[in-house]
């Protein structure tokens, strides 16, 4: 080939070959990967702006709001636009730690997203910030709906509270974003998915500096879906009265519910806390205070504290004896002389009762009678009955973190004490002391067996839309009737007389739970009206002393108030 | 206008008009008007240049080279702003590096036209020296993008003047050694494959050259690089590509790819590029104007612009081939390689297959000096085309 032509051809191939490469790569970018890059260019220019969905309201049984939302100011930072100096000055204005802000900013990967650094800011503070907002690039002030609890402490345990999701939770909770609130303890946690709602999205066009240019027309904004409302069975007035009755006692737990359908009127636990505080975010010292192990204000004592149940166990021991046919109602043991010598131990009674038959033994709560009955029945019969009525397992109430207590069955005993466990343990168990521990909720639920006329155990629930949860246990009707009569007797003439209400037949049982940490807990479980019970109350006042003198009168007041509120007309009739 | 190769003038005008339209889209009316004035001036100068005789180019090649080199030297001291690239002459800014390309092409052509035979390694030395002066001065400005152009121009002209392609590759193989030296496997692969190639040529000097120069360069480059502190390395990277911004080296490249890719087949429509409009795209009206073509006019727009360039380059290449006079033929090849190399580097960088170096797209990118120099180049080509069939 001609030398000149060869050079020409070489250059021709080189020059045009290069353009072939350019065309191939452009084709790859624009045709093969065009969709991907189009999406990327949208992601560049379109900022998703979330609009917080208001949480669903929570109502009491008569439709009164016990939790709603209110508008609150927040301050947010757009990391890409905020200078270090403006972050520092906003930290000063808000009086929060600079590191806290920086940690929150680091969590957000998109530097143009606005990160809420402080929420529920008081009006005076926000006006100060708004004045200097012009000198603080990248700092925004906004309004969002936040949780509001109009009755502060009153429903704190049962409602729970909301607080910002933590970094750790964020990793496995896919539907949540940084800064989202989530329900903690109580109904807020239990019904989180219902109450939360779905945040809306505004699609905003932004330029490279993150300046907002307006809404994007191609994408329609998604409006926020508010959370669904929750209708509860709670009774605002009764709860408020309960709190009043207990105002002189630092630590107590009350549950009141309808034993027929399980609707809870009151769940109240002391001490409490103001759930509104969590919206703003707690300081370290506030958090420490709420978590002190002695008072444990965050603990819902009705479902999370386990107590020895004292004499309130006696009706179940008696029932076990009657139902199995081991004893008759007129069965008498050795008379009570104020105690019982058993082996080398002396088991005391609180009074010298003399010789009693079964019903009187319950009415006057004679320990000596039940020491002997328990020993006579043996551990297996007793714990079978306790197991049947629900001790040692969760009740299934619609509240989170429910404790199960301890039901000291034979296996459990052998595991704990080895072969060395003795009948002495049975004696203790027979009066509700020793190893047995139960939550007030378990105790209340077990008593629904007596308050119902058809052998059912009814589980309390809070969501009005839940069906009654119950189960029937196989027990002789006559045996149950004897216990019911005894419980009526307790209030009429026995240890529970202080729960007496003129004109209303109340049944119940007192308990005085010895505990190693201090004075006895005062316990009363009762229901009324005895003929057809509509309210069952279980109350434990910690370290308050005798069940008959402290818990019983308060239970009486609660029942009376319930009657006054709901049955005013019938009440007049009596 | 007689005897003028109208197709070349016409096609370069069409490319420039396309550039003007895109400048309007990316820079607005102000930039559009300024570039339009430059275009009018450039075309007038281009037409005047076509009147010059080809002897004229031969006689002024050395003075032109000296003057343009001096200008690149002076701009280092009297530049407006930093980088030191522009003179301010009244109401316009001039960028001498653009004109140094023309002077250098002229001098290279007149030197190589005299040479009867090109085959020894020593034949590389004078051309290297000729490009080293303007290239070095521009590198100091700093403007790596403009400084790099001289080397491929020289290679093309050497080849056209008769230097065998293999010789050129072997002589400059240490450059490949330097680039590949950052990966030992790449470098070893290069050494072996290139070693086989050199060995088959059975020329002792070439084999010795390969065995000494390439290992030496391959060894020294990484040693020098790693002996630098991190901030020094960053400074060099920043020096080579000065407008890499704080958002990171890959930001511009990524945004440019997003712009082009999101244009898809038909583009987002004229004036509707979101990457451009919202300023995600850097250097929109200058170095990255091709990305806007891709974004707003789509693959179709890219195809059209590439075919326009291909047609222009094909015409110039034909003229270079048909030109009997060796000097003029070499000048044509020099101008062709200048246009072609800038086009390729610019497009390659916007579609993400080449590193980002600041090189304008000929005829399209905003910039008066670049446009004027391009049309001076076209004028020279046209004056050559008129006399291409004469021997002298």
Q: How far apart are CA B185 and CA B189, in angstroms?
A: 6
* Chain B residue numbers touching A13 (CB-CB < 8 A): none
pLDDT of amino acid B156: 94
Is the model more confident about A552 or about B228? A552
CB atoms within 10 A of CB B249: 15
State yes or no: pLDDT of B241 exceeds 70.
no
Nearest CB neighbour to B258, from listed A19, A35, A41: A41
Q: The whole model's pTM is what?
A: 0.68
- Interface of chain A against chain B, CB under 8 Å? 4, 7-8, 10-12, 15-16, 18-19, 21-23, 25-27, 29-31, 33-38, 40-42, 44-45, 205-209, 213
Nearest CB neighbour to A207, from listed B278, B313, B353: B278
Q: How confident is the model at residue B239 (pLDDT cuts 50, 70, 90)?
A: low
The alpha-carbon gap from A220 to the nearest alpha carbon of chain B, in Å, equals 18
The candidate with the shortest Cα–Cα distance to B332, out of A8, A18, A13, A6, is A8
Question: N- to C-terminal Cα distance for chain A?
Answer: 127
User: Which of the residues B262, B293, B309 would you substitute to probe the A interface, choosing the one with the greatest number of A C-beta atoms within 10 Å?
Assistant: B262
* Chain B residue numbers touching A79 (CB-CB < 8 A): none
Over residues B29-50, the pLDDT tens digits come to 999 999 999 999 999 999 999 9
Structure tokens at A353: 């009762």
Percentage of residues of chain A with pLDDT beyond 70: 98
CA angle B176, B179, B185 (to 5 degrees): 90
Q: Are A558 and A256 in contact (CB under 8 A)?
A: yes
* Chain B residue numbers touching A33 (CB-CB < 8 A): 261
Query: Which chain A residue's Cα is nearest to B341?
Result: A15
Over residues A118-141, the pLDDT tens digits come to 888 888 888 888 888 888 888 888
Cβ A44–B255 below 8 Å, yes or no? yes
The candidate with the shortest Cα–Cα distance to B391, out of B305, B310, B316, B327, is B327
Tell me the C-alpha to C-alpha distance, in Å, between residue B304 and each of A23, B308, B309.
11, 6, 9
Q: Are B35 and B360 in contact (CB under 8 A)?
A: no
SS3 A391: coil
Over residues B288-333, the pLDDT tens digits come to 999 999 999 999 999 999 999 999 999 999 999 999 899 999 999 9
Q: How far apart are CA A563 and CA A559, in angstroms?
A: 6
What is the 3 state secondary structure string of A330-342?
Answer: CCCCCCECCEEEE
* String of DSSP letters for A488-508: HHHHHHSTTGGG-BTTB--EE
Cβ B264–A35 below 8 Å, yes or no? yes
Provide the Cα torsion B280, B285, B289, B292; round to 10°.
Answer: 50
Alpha helices by DSSP H, B79-203: 96-114, 125-140, 144-147, 150-161, 165-171, 173-180, 184-201
Query: Which chain B residue's Cα is nearest to A211?
Result: B278
Nearest CB neighbour to A41, from listed B275, B314, B352: B275
Q: Are A367 and A335 in contact (CB under 8 A)?
A: no
pLDDT of amino acid B249: 53
Tell me the C-alpha to C-alpha distance, in Å, between residue A53 and each of A76, A180, A211, A232.
18, 10, 25, 21
Cβ B263–A10 below 8 Å, yes or no? no
User: Which of the residues B245, B253, B258 would you substitute to probe the A interface, choosing the one with the greatest number of A C-beta atoms within 10 Å?
Assistant: B258
β partners of residue A77? A115, A139
Q: How far apart are CA A87 and CA A93, in angstroms?
A: 10
CB pairs under 8 A between A and B: 112
Tell me the C-alpha to C-alpha distance, in Å, between residue B253 and each of A114, B237, B256.
27, 15, 5
User: Which of the residues B153, B272, B274, B346 would you substitute to probe the A interface, choosing the one with the greatest number of A C-beta atoms within 10 Å?
Assistant: B274
Q: How far apart are CA A257 and CA A531, in angstroms?
A: 16
Alpha helices by DSSP H, A61-155: 84-94, 98-107, 123-131
State yes or no: pLDDT of A62 exceeds 80.
yes
φ and ψ of A401, to 5 deg: 60, 40
This complex has an ipTM of: 0.91
Cβ A44–B309 below 8 Å, yes or no? no
User: Which of the residues A15, A24, A25, A28 would you substitute to probe the B interface, choosing the one with the greatest number of B C-beta atoms within 10 Å?
Assistant: A15
* Chain B residue numbers touching A10 (CB-CB < 8 A): 159, 165
Over residues A413-439, the pLDDT tens digits come to 999 888 878 888 999 999 999 899 999
Q: How confident is the model at residue A571 (pLDDT cuts 50, 70, 90)?
A: very low
* Chain A residue numbers touching B348 (CB-CB < 8 A): 22
User: Which of the residues A12, A37, A214 would you substitute to probe the B interface, choosing the one with the greatest number of B C-beta atoms within 10 Å?
Assistant: A37
φ and ψ of A377, to 5 deg: -80, -35
Over residues B115-129, the pLDDT tens digits come to 888 877 788 899 999
Nearest CB neighbour to A29, from listed B278, B303, B351: B351
Q: Are A491 and A499 in contact (CB under 8 A)?
A: yes
* Chain A residue numbers touching B313 (CB-CB < 8 A): 15-16
Determine if residue A177 is left, alpha or beta; phi over 0 gives left, psi from -120 to 50 gives alpha, anything else beta.
beta
Q: Are B157 and B149 in contact (CB under 8 A)?
A: no
Q: How far apart are CA A407 and CA A392, in angstroms?
A: 5
Query: Which chain B residue's Cα is nearest to A21?
Result: B348
Q: How confident is the model at residue A366 (pLDDT cuts 50, 70, 90)?
A: very high
Query: Which chain B residue's Cα is nearest to A35?
Result: B262
Q: Are B72 and B137 in contact (CB under 8 A)?
A: yes
Nearest CB neighbour to A29, from listed B165, B260, B344: B260
Q: Are B65 and B106 in contact (CB under 8 A)?
A: yes
Mean residue pLDDT of chain A comes to: 89
Beta strands in A172-282 (DSSP E): 181-184, 200-206, 212-215, 230-231, 252-257, 264-270
């Amino acid at each position: 080939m001609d030398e000149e032509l060869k050079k020409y051809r070489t250059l021709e191939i080189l020059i045009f070959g290069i353009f072939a490469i350019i065309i191939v790569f452009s084709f790859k970018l624009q045709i093969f990967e065009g969709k991907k890059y189009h999406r990327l260019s949208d992601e560049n220019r379109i900022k998703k702006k979330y609009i917080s969905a208001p949480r669903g309201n929570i109502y009491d049984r008569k439709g009164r709001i016990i939790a709603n939302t209110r508008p609150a100011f927040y301050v947010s930072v757009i990391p890409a636009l905020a200078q270090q100096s403006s972050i520092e000055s906003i930290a000063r204005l808000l009086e929060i730690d600079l590191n806290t802000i920086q940690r929150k900013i680091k969590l957000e990967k998109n530097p143009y997203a606005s990160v809420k650094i402080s929420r529920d800011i008081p009006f005076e503070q926000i006006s100060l910030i708004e004045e200097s907002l012009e000198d603080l690039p990248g700092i925004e002030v906004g309004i969002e709906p936040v949780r509001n609890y109009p009755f502060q402490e009153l429903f704190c345990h049962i409602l729970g509270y909301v607080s910002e999701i933590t970094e750790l939770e964020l990793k496995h909770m896919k539907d949540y974003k940084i800064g989202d609130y989530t329900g903690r303890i109580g109904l807020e946690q239990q019904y989180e998915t219902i109450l939360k709602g779905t945040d809306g999205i505004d699609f905003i066009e932004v330029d490279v500096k993150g300046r907002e240019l307006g809404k994007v027309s191609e994408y329609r904004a998604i409006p926020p879906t508010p959370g669904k409302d929750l209708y509860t069975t709670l009774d605002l007035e009764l709860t408020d009265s309960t709190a009043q009755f207990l105002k002189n006692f630092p630590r107590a737990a009350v549950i009141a519910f309808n034993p027929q359908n399980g609707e809870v009127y009151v769940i109240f636990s002391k001490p409490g806390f103001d759930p509104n505080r969590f919206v703003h975010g707690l300081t370290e010292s506030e958090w420490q205070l709420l978590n002190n192990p002695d008072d444990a204000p965050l603990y819902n004592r009705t479902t999370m504290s386990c107590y020895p149940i004292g004499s309130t166990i006696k009706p179940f021991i008696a029932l076990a004896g009657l139902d199995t046919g081991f004893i008759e109602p007129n069965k008498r043991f050795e008379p009570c002389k104020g105690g019982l010598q058993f082996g080398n131990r002396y088991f005391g009674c609180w009074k010298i009762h003399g010789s009693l038959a079964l019903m009187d033994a319950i009415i006057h709560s004679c320990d000596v009678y039940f020491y002997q009955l328990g020993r006579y029945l043996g551990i297996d019969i007793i714990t079978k009955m306790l197991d049947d009525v629900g001790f040692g397992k969760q009740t299934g109430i619609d509240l989170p973190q429910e404790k199960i207590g301890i039901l000291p069955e034979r296996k459990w005993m052998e595991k704990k004490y080895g072969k060395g466990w003795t009948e002495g343990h049975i004696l203790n168990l027979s009066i509700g002391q020793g190893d047995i521990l139960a939550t007030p909720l378990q105790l209340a639920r077990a008593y629904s067996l007596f308050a119902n006329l058809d052998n059912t155990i009814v589980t309390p629930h809070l969501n009005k839309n839940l069906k009654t949860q119950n189960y029937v246990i196989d027990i002789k009707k006559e045996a149950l009737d004897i216990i019911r009569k005894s419980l009526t007797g307790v209030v009429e003439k026995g240890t529970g007389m202080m729960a007496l209400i003129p004109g209303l037949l109340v049944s119940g049982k007192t308990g005085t739970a010895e505990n190693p940490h201090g004075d006895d807990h005062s316990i009363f479980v009762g229901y009324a009206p005895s003929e057809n019970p509509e309210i069952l109350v279980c109350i434990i006042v910690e370290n308050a002393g005798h069940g008959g003198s402290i818990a019983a009168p308060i239970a009486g007041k609660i029942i009376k108030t319930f009657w006054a509120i709901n049955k005013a007309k019938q009440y007049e009739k009596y | 206008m007689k005897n003028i190769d109208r197709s070349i003038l016409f096609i370069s005008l069409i490319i420039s008009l396309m550039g003007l339209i895109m400048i309007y889209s990316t820079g607005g009316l102000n930039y559009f008007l300024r570039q339009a004035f430059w275009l009018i001036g450039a075309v007038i100068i281009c037409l005047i240049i076509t009147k010059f005789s080809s002897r004229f180019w031969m006689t002024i090649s050395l003075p032109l080279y000296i003057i343009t080199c001096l200008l690149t030297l002076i701009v280092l001291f009297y530049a407006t702003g930093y980088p030191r690239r522009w003179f301010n002459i009244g109401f316009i800014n001039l960028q001498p590096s653009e004109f140094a390309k023309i002077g250098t092409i002229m001098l290279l052509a007149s030197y190589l036209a005299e040479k009867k035979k090109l085959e020894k390694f020593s034949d590389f030395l004078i051309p290297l020296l000729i490009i080293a002066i303007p290239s070095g001065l521009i590198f100091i400005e700093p403007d790596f993008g403009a400084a790099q152009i001289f080397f491929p121009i020289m290679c093309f002209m050497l080849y056209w003047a008769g230097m065998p392609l293999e010789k050129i590759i072997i002589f400059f193989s240490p450059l490949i050694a330097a680039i590949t030296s950052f990966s030992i496997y790449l470098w070893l692969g290069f050494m072996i494959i290139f070693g086989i190639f050199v060995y088959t040529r059975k020329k002792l000097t070439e084999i010795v050259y390969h065995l000494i120069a390439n290992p030496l360069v391959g060894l020294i480059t990484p040693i020098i690089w790693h002996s630098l502190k991190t901030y020094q390395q960053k400074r060099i990277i920043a020096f080579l590509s000065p407008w890499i911004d704080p958002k990171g080296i890959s930001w511009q490249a990524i945004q440019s790819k997003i712009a082009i890719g999101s244009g898809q087949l038909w583009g987002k429509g004229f004036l509707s590029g979101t990457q451009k409009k919202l300023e995600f795209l850097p250097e929109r009206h200058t170095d990255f104007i091709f990305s806007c073509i891709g974004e707003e006019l789509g693959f179709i727009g890219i195809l059209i612009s590439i075919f326009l360039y291909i047609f222009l380059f094909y015409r110039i290449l034909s003229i270079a081939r048909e030109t009997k006079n060796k000097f003029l033929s070499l000048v044509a090849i020099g101008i062709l390689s200048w246009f072609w190399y800038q086009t390729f580097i610019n497009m390659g960088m916007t579609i993400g297959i080449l590193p980002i170096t600041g090189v304008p797209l000929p005829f399209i990118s905003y910039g008066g000096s670049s446009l004027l120099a391009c049309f001076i180049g076209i004028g020279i080509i046209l004056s050559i085309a008129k006399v291409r069939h004469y021997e002298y």
